[in-house]
Amino acid sequence: MNATDQSYRYIVIEGPIGVGKTTLTRRVAESLGGELLLEAAEENPFLERFYENPRHAALPTQLHFLFQRVRQLEPLNQADLFRPLCIADFLLEKDRLFAHLNLDEHERELYDQIWATLSPRAPAPDLVVYLQAPVPVLMERIARRARPCESRLDGDYLERLSAAYLDFFHHYSGAPVLIVNAAEANFERSDADYTALLQEIADRPRGRRYFNPLPVTLS
């Protein structure tokens, strides 16, 4: 599979905070000659406040992300046969996952009204790559990248977030899903892990497919 492969138009790489989705998105886009579409979390003026006090800043944080994601995905809704392959590190529907995880009952009602009014849409991805890893792995990776605002994330929140992702993709039917065990794999530095995953993507999985990179054993 290479930059001349036209079988994909839109691939999304998803997963909880710290699992490595943005790093992998960048590498896949480079390999396939696709355009990057990345979450711009650093542009959300409420995010740091959310990490400091989730209860008080959850609603503006989530609404900013919603409007931002709608704007980012708007070009993909144009019927352009010559639009290049797009590789994104977020799925529009996951905005509601975070909203229902972080907002209280009345805030969720308001959020759902805004969602219904906006009627946000994006084309269905040709493939969603869903990265999974246990919470201790997520916490270790978050600590290693040392982003100051993320230092406030605790294991309980990541447990609830991981469970929300698991439930979301259990019911998700909007596109084929490649479910990847990313706990031991290093898609950034291990060419073997990355090449194996790229081959799984090239095989164009249908429905749900599970991919567990096998450790290399020396005989």
Report CA torsion sign: 106, 109, 115, 118.
negative
Gap between the Cα atoms of 47 and 61, Å rounded: 6
- Burial-class residue 54 by CB neighbours within 10 Å (0-12, 13-18, 19+): middle
Gap between the Cα atoms of 162 and 136, Å rounded: 11
Looking at 44-185, list the stretches that DSSP marks H as alpha helix, in order from N- to C-terminal side. 47-52, 54-73, 94-102, 105-118, 135-145, 155-171
| Catalytic one of 89, 112, 191, 203 | 89
Contact 61, 47 (CB under 8 A): yes
**Catalytic (active site) residue 89:** yes
Q: Which residues are catalytic?
A: 89
